[in-house]
């Protein structure tokens, strides 16, 4: 897969891992076009979260390329990727626990201080819970509230692509449903989203396209709703 | 009773002076995750820089303190960038050991330039203020006020400014901070400047109370480290609480043990805290 100018993100044959010899991604490729929600599903250990971290620049790609908006960012770190419009919401430790909700939002807009106040007010309007809790320390929020805050923090730098790593992990079914609604609403506002999600069926149903990753390699890809109803996918990954 | 009250007052005075370099030590630990023992030489350099400004150039104490802050902050950043930064990838222990070596180098440079003699600031001699049987030196009160103002400014900086919040964010979670577009390397430079600068100011405040020599910082290093451990390594409010607790404990201990055992109080405090509450009184990573 080569970089396509029509794509927002092109990941081409990326290998990456944590230790010197450990290789988790073994030539993974994917693309995200403007306006899409793209889900990555797969069994445990498939490298789904590692792929997001590699795109975000927290894990360095050893081979292959990552192109964002036509710019090759393969050798850049997380800071450079953030400046290229990548907003990443990690699965864990995704808020600054010892800081207030308001400070979390403010610091997440560090790149453009002139827009911080306006963007924070927009987010308070979109997520009234954050406005009610703006003085509370982030570590005192419930799991669902914390995920909303983490997602809002991901929006403070006005990203061109939002990466979500298992956003509903540890949430109650009701909170997970609300979060999915929030993700769809964000996408309808024009924001492309690439997510890894443990609730694979629900994620695929709201996704434009989906990728199935197995042992660090692409296994399947296709439209999200089609993958969600594919009998083999259901049997292998969804238990259905 | 008067003896105990006097010890508590003296302890608060000492603790407040120790708190200033302890804040610097804790700030550097919070952001860079290693104990920088070169803070002792920064305190000494600050003390001598202020002495030069005050006794040689004839400047009043407050401008001399400002000069000490700037000079020590710059030397701290220079030392960090040239000597310690490249070792960070080898782990906290290696950088901590290197900081001890750096401390010896800087301390001996001070000795080479200024000599070994004790030096005093150009200050008016004033009588102690008496409250019944209790006595407080006017210079101690001035140093106390200066330390409180410096701590208040530091707290306001951390709580309300963009860079202060970025420092807290990097201390809490450097990876997440990077994802938000905050450059931890830039924040590290600001932190080392502030931390070393505060250590330098601490050296001046200690020197104002007594005299200075090339071992001024080294003598308080254990107290600074103990205060930071007591309060919780990396916690800036903890460093203040730890310094005050240690100051009072040291002064109270002097009622029953000879002054030569004063430093033992620091060791005992570290031992007790690490045994029963390793994360310290206010132990958290963020400020």
Q: Tens digits of per-residue pLDDT, A66-89? A: 999 889 999 999 988 998 999 999
Q: Which residues of chain B have pLDDT under 70?
A: 284-287
Residue A75 pLDDT: 93
Cβ-defined contact of B178 to A79 (cutoff 8 Å): yes
- The CATH number assigned to the domain holding B168 equals 1.10.3470
The angle, 0 to 180 degrees and rounded to 10, between the axes of the packed helices A143-155 and A101-108 is: 30
CB nearest to A111's CB, from B168, B181, B286? B181
> Does B153 fall in a domain?
yes
Residue of B nearest to A163 (CA): B179
Decide if A111 touches B, using CB distance below 8 A.
yes
Alpha helices in chain B (DSSP H): 2-32, 39-51, 61-79, 92-114, 138-160, 162-172, 174-179, 184-209, 216-231, 236-256, 262-276
Residues of B in contact with A94 (CB under 8 A): 176
* H or E stretch covering A220: strand A217-223
Cβ-defined contact of A99 to B173 (cutoff 8 Å): no
> Does B212 fall in a domain?
yes
Predicted complex ipTM: 0.84
Backbone angles phi, psi at B221, to 5 degrees: -60, -45
CA distance B180 to B275: 37
Q: How many CB pairs under 8 A join A and B?
A: 72
CA distance A222 to A240: 19
> Does B124 fall in a domain?
no
Residue A87 pLDDT: 93
Query: Cβ of A223: how many Cβ atoms within 10 Å?
Result: 12
Residue of B nearest to A87 (CA): B179
Decide if B180 touches A, using CB distance below 8 A.
yes
CA distance A171 to A154: 19
Q: What angle do CA A160, A162, A163 make, to 5 degrees?
A: 140
CA distance A211 to B30: 40
Residue A238 pLDDT: 57
CA distance B197 to B203: 10
Residue B284 pLDDT: 58
> Does B286 fall in a domain?
no
pTM of the model: 0.85
CA distance A178 to A199: 13
- Tell me which residues of chain B, numbers 227 to 286, contact chain A at a CB-CB cutoff of 8 Å: 284-286
Q: Which residues of chain A have pLDDT under 70?
A: 1-5, 237-240
Number of domains in chain B: 1
Alpha helices in A128-233 (DSSP H): 128-132, 143-155, 173-188, 200-206, 224-229, 231-233
Q: Which of the 8 DSSP states describes residue B127?
A: P
Residues in chain B: 287
DSSP A7-39: -SEEEEEEEE-SSSS---EEEEEEEE-TT-EEE
> Does B122 fall in a domain?
no
> Does B269 fall in a domain?
yes
> Does B285 fall in a domain?
no
Q: What angle do CA A159, A131, B176 make, to 5 degrees?
A: 40
Decide if A54 touches B, using CB distance below 8 A.
no
Please state whether beta strands A193-196 and A9-16 pair in parallel, antiparallel, or not at all (unpaired): unpaired
CA distance A147 to A130: 11
Residue B286 pLDDT: 39
- Environment class of B82 (CB within 10 Å of its CB; exposed 0-12, middle 13-18, buried 19+): exposed
Residues with Cβ < 8 Å from A212, sequence gap 6 or more?
Answer: A41, A42, A218, A219, A220, A221, A227, A233, A237
Sign for the CA dihedral angle at B32, A56, A164, A113 comes to positive
Q: Which of the 8 DSSP states describes residue B54?
A: I
Structure tokens at A140: 């005192």
Residues with Cβ < 8 Å from B222, sequence gap 6 or more?
Answer: B263, B266, B267
CB nearest to B169's CB, from A56, A94, A107? A107
Structure tokens at A2: 């080569």
Query: Which residues span the domain enclosing B158?
Result: 2-115+131-276
Looking at CA atoms only, how far is residue B9 from chain A in angstroms?
A: 33
Which residue segments constitute the domains of chain A, with CATH numbers given?
9-238 (3.40.50.300)
Q: What angle do CA B204, B205, B206 make, to 5 degrees?
A: 90
CA distance B54 to B122: 6
Side by side, which strands form the sheet with A25-32? Answer: A25-32, A9-16, A63-68, A71-72
Residue of A nearest to B167 (CA): A107
Cβ-defined contact of A156 to B180 (cutoff 8 Å): yes
> Does B200 fall in a domain?
yes
Residues with Cβ < 8 Å from A218, sequence gap 6 or more?
Answer: A28, A29, A30, A211, A212
Contacts 24+ apart (CB under 8 A), A67-76: A67/A3, A67/A7, A67/A9, A67/A10, A67/A12, A68/A8, A68/A9, A68/A160, A68/A161, A69/A8, A69/A160, A70/A3, A70/A5, A72/A3
Torsion of CA B188, B189, B192, B194, to 10 degrees: -110
CA distance B116 to A133: 58
Looking at CA atoms only, how far is residue B286 from chain A in angstroms?
A: 6
Residues of A in contact with B180 (CB under 8 A): 82, 107-111, 153, 156-157
Cβ-defined contact of B169 to A88 (cutoff 8 Å): no
Looking at CA atoms only, how far is residue B247 from chain A in angstroms?
A: 28
């Amino acid at each position: 897969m080569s970089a396509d100018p029509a794509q927002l993100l092109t990941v081409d044959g990326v290998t990456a891992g944590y230790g010197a010899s450990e290789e988790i991604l073994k030539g993974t490729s994917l693309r995200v076009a403007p306006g899409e929600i793209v889900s990555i599903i797969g069994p445990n250990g498939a490298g789904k979260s590692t792929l997001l971290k590699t795109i975000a620049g927290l894990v360095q790609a050893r081979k292959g390329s990552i192109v964002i908006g036509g710019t090759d960012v393969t050798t850049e770190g997380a800071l450079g990727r953030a400046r290229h419009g990548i907003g990443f919401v990690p699965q864990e430790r995704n808020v600054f626990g010892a800081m207030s909700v308001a400070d979390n939002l403010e610091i997440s807009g560090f790149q453009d201080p002139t827009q911080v106040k306006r963007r924070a007010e927009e987010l308070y309007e979109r997520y009234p819970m954050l406005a009610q809790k703006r003085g509370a320390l982030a570590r005192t929020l419930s799991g669902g509230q914390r995920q909303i805050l983490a997602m809002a923090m991901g929006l403070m730098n006005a990203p061109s692509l939002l990466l979500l790593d298992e956003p509903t992990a540890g949430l109650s079914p009701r909170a997970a449903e609300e979060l999915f609604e929030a993700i769809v609403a964000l996408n309808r506002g024009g924001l492309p989203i690439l997510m890894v999600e443990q609730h694979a069926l629900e994620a695929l149903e709201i996704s434009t396209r989906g990728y199935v990753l197995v042992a660090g390699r692409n296994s399947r890809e296709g439209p999200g709703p089609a993958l969600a109803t594919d009998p083999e996918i259901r049997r292998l990954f969804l238990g259905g | 009773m008067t003896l105990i009250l006097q010890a508590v007052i003296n302890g608060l005075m000492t603790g407040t002076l120790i708190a200033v370099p302890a804040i610097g030590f804790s700030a550097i630990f919070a952001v860079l995750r290693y104990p920088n023992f070169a803070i002792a030489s920064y305190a000494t350099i600050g003390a001598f820089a202020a002495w030069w400004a005050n006794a040689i150039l004839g400047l009043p104490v407050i401008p001399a303190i400002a000069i000490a802050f700037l000079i020590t902050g710059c030397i701290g950043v220079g030392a960090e960038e040239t000597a310690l930064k490249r070792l960070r990838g080898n782990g906290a222990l290696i950088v901590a050991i290197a900081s001890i070596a750096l401390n010896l180098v800087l301390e001996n440079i001070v000795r080479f330039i200024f000599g070994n003699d004790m030096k005093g600031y150009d200050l008016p001699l004033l009588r102690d203020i008496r409250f019944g049987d209790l006595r407080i030196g006017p210079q101690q009160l001035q140093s106390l006020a200066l330390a409180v103002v410096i701590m208040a400014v530091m707290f306001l900086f951390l709580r309300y400014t963009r860079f202060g919040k970025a420092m807290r964010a990097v201390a809490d979670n450097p990876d997440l901070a990077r994802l938000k577009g905050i450059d931890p390397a830039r924040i590290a430079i600001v932190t080392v400047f502030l931390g070393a600068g505060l250590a330098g100011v601490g050296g001046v405040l200690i020197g104002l109370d007594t005299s200075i020599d090339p071992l001024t910082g080294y003598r308080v290093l254990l107290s600074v480290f103990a205060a930071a451990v007591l309060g919780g390594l990396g916690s800036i409010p903890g460093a203040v609480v730890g310094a005050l607790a240690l100051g009072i404990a040291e002064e109270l201990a002097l009622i029953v043990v000879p002054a030569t055992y004063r430093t033992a109080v620091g060791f005992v405090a570290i031992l007790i805290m690490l045994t029963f509450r390793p994360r310290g009184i206010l132990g958290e990573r963020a400020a």
